[in-house]
Amino acid sequence: MRDDRSRSLLLERLRDPSPLVTVEIRPPRGGMDSSEAIDVWIDLHHSVRQLLKEERFVFVTDNAVGEDEEENLAHLTANLGEEVDLRRVVPFLTCKHTLDYCLMYAARAASAGVDALTVLGGDHSIGPPRTVPHAYQLRGLIRERAKDLVLGGWTNPHRSASEQLAFLESESFGAEFFLTQVVSHHSLHRVEAMLEEKARRGLDLPGVFGVFYYRSANPATLEKLGEFFPVPAQELTREFGAGATAEEVCARTIRALRDAGADKVFVSNLGWRGAADRLYRILDRV
């Protein structure tokens, strides 16, 4: 094992001063029939392959919002193989598995050529219990066994900036980077508060801010999404009602984050089919 996390491709790029747009993708949900799952995985692999060949980084979720998903690592390593640089794939691992599974998962990821892993707690309210109470505890256990992996954590700009930055600053946090809950240009003050607190503390831990791709202002959809993160439903309804496209609304958030100093982002909810093309339409408007 190289035990030299400073050579991580992701960390090198996060320390680069130029803006970065990455993508978060969800694997197919668990329980699909085989033919449906195969079709989804084909679409997903095509999108991931296209993004990676364009030298994008791709974060891949693990049972997002508590819903059972197919395991991300097995399919990606088996079907992408040596065609792409798996150092650009950054899987999520939640604490909502057995400890043996989590530790073996980390070892498998490192062995496959993945060099960064985002370790999250997982939703308390849905699905199986966490194997450990907090994600930092799992990161500590993984660090003992997979010293070459770069580990990421999670933070939420919608909560107290001083509280969240205290977590990030703690030696026990045990991560080399962090991702955030999704934000928008309508909650920019939360991002600014976090960045100001981060600067005040002199914390140089790199972060990637989440951006959600809202496809419409459908009230039922926005209400459902609001169960998992703050959704600016009224503001989105006005924007879409005024004729803004989904790509323009997403681009507005990316532009606002860059203006605020949060120039490393990941875009969520681009879907399985056509994710790369959808991303490029957004970037044309940034």
Helical pair 246-260 and 233-241, crossing angle rounded to 10 deg: 120
Which pLDDT band, with edges at 50, 70 and 90, does 1 fall under? very low
**Beta-carbon count within 10 A of 169 CB:** 14
Which pLDDT band, with edges at 50, 70 and 90, does 80 fall under? confident
Burial of residue 201 (CB within 10 Å: 0-12, 13-18, 19+) is middle
- Over residues 128-147, the mean pLDDT reads 93
Which pLDDT band, with edges at 50, 70 and 90, does 2 fall under? very low
- Over residues 201-227, the mean pLDDT reads 96
DSSP string across 221-248 = HHHHHTTTS---HHHHHHHHHTT--HHH
pLDDT one-digit tens code per residue, 234-244: 999 999 999 99
In angstroms, the CA 8 to CA 206 distance is 13
- Domain total for the chain? 1
* Residues in Cβ contact with 202 at an 8 Å cutoff, skipping those fewer than 6 apart: none
CATH number at residue 52: 3.20.20.220
Which pLDDT band, with edges at 50, 70 and 90, does 72 fall under? confident
Position 31 scores a pLDDT of 66
123 half-sphere exposure, CB direction, 13 A CA radius:
15
* Mean pLDDT over each residue of the chain, to the nearest integer: 91
* Integer-rounded Cα radius of gyration of the chain: 18
Q: Which residue has the higher pLDDT, 3 or 134?
A: 134
In angstroms, the CA 1 to CA 159 distance is 38
Position 4 scores a pLDDT of 58
- 3-state DSSP assignment of residue 195: helix
- Per the structure, the complete domain to which residue 149 belongs is given by 5-283
Amino acid at 266: F
Position 69 scores a pLDDT of 74
Inter-residue contact 264 to 208 (CB < 8 Å): yes
In angstroms, the CA 168 to CA 269 distance is 26
For the cut 60, the answer to whether the pLDDT of residue 282 exceeds it is yes
Position 83 scores a pLDDT of 72
Lowest mean pLDDT among 88-92, 127-131, 261-265: 127-131
Which pLDDT band, with edges at 50, 70 and 90, does 81 fall under? low
Which pLDDT band, with edges at 50, 70 and 90, does 96 fall under? very high
Q: What are phi and psi of 154, to 5 degrees?
A: -140, 145
Inter-residue contact 152 to 117 (CB < 8 Å): yes
Percentage of the chain lying above the pLDDT 70 cut = 94
Q: Is the pTM of this model over 0.75?
A: yes
Q: How far apart are the first and last CA of the chain?
A: 40
Helix, strand, coil fractions of the chain, as percent rounded to 5: 50, 15, 35
The first and second tokens of residue 200, run together, are 């005040």
Which pLDDT band, with edges at 50, 70 and 90, does 267 fall under? very high
For the cut 60, the answer to whether the pLDDT of residue 38 exceeds it is yes
Position 128 scores a pLDDT of 84
For the cut 60, the answer to whether the pLDDT of residue 202 exceeds it is yes
